[in-house]
Amino acid sequence: MQKINKIFFWILGALIGLTLLAIFVGWPILKSQTKKNSPEQIVTYTQEDIEISTLYSSPSKKGRIIFGKLVPYNVVWRTGANEPTSFTTNKDLVIDNKDLPKGTYSLWTIPRETSWDIIFNSKMNHWGVKFSDQTANRDPKYDVLTATVIPSKSLTVTENFTISFSESNNNILMMLAWDTTVVPVLLQKK
């Protein structure tokens, strides 16, 4: 009986060890492989005393129809690939006449044909979609601000999903662009 117990605990220990090995070695390998197809990008806007930055993964078009197909309309999107996009501001902002306190947020969107919802959420998730059903891994109870903006069509194709910043009438314009869709988000200094 004692020999059977020893064998049982050796097998149990080996299974636990293999599981931990798969988690701690397999997950970083899987993550690095997905980052090859959608590399991380960091974009920072700095002017006087304000600094805004985004960290996102940039998937490619690769001949696919993006909005309405790969990224469905009327469904929450993680706004990039892999982990949710992060948005950090060191100053309070006003977006769509609503206050966004300084801090770091996950950035989510709901693309539609004629408007987009831009969602700033206070919870940072480790991955942008749930493994169970591949839906957005966002918890709406942590939404801090939702702004509705109007997208436009570009005459040129943006191959990789891109976030950029520019200035417009002493305000900051954050642009989301992919395929032929451009989504301007006006960020006003408070």
DSSP string of 145-163?
A: EEEEE--EEEEEEEEEEEE
For residues 152 and 117, the answer to whether their CB atoms sit within 8 Å is no
Task: Answer yes or no: do 47 and 28 share one domain.
Answer: no
Contacts of 137 (CB under 8 A, 6+ apart): 78, 84, 125, 127, 128, 129, 130
pLDDT in tens, 42-98: 999 999 899 999 999 999 999 999 999 999 999 999 999 888 899 999 999 999 999
Tell me the two tokens of residue 63: 């001949």
Predicted pLDDT at 68? 94
Task: Answer yes or no: do 69 and 42 share one domain.
Answer: yes
Task: Answer yes or no: do 12 and 44 share one domain.
Answer: no
Residue 90's domain comprises: 38-189
Pick 36 or 52 by higher pLDDT.
52
> Stretch 153-166: mean pLDDT, rounded?
96
Task: Answer yes or no: do 101 and 147 share one domain.
Answer: yes
Task: Answer yes or no: do 80 and 131 share one domain.
Answer: yes
pLDDT at 135 over 70: no
pLDDT in tens, 94-129: 999 999 999 999 999 999 999 999 999 998 876 655
Predicted pLDDT at 94? 96
- Structural domains counted in the chain: 2
SS3 19: helix
Cα separation, 14 vs 112, in Å, equals 50
Task: Answer yes or no: do 46 and 135 share one domain.
Answer: yes
Task: Answer yes or no: do 3 and 64 share one domain.
Answer: no
Task: Answer yes or no: do 11 and 83 share one domain.
Answer: no
Give the residue from 94, 101, 143, 103 showing the smallest Cα distance to 119.
Answer: 143
Tell me the two tokens of residue 152: 């436009």
- pTM for the model stands at 0.78
Least confident piece of the model among 14-28, 57-71, 154-168: 14-28
Task: Answer yes or no: do 11 and 104 share one domain.
Answer: no
User: Could you give the C-alpha distances from 126 to 108, 118, 152, in angstroms and in order?
Assistant: 14, 20, 31
DSSP state of 125: P
Task: Answer yes or no: do 177 and 132 share one domain.
Answer: yes
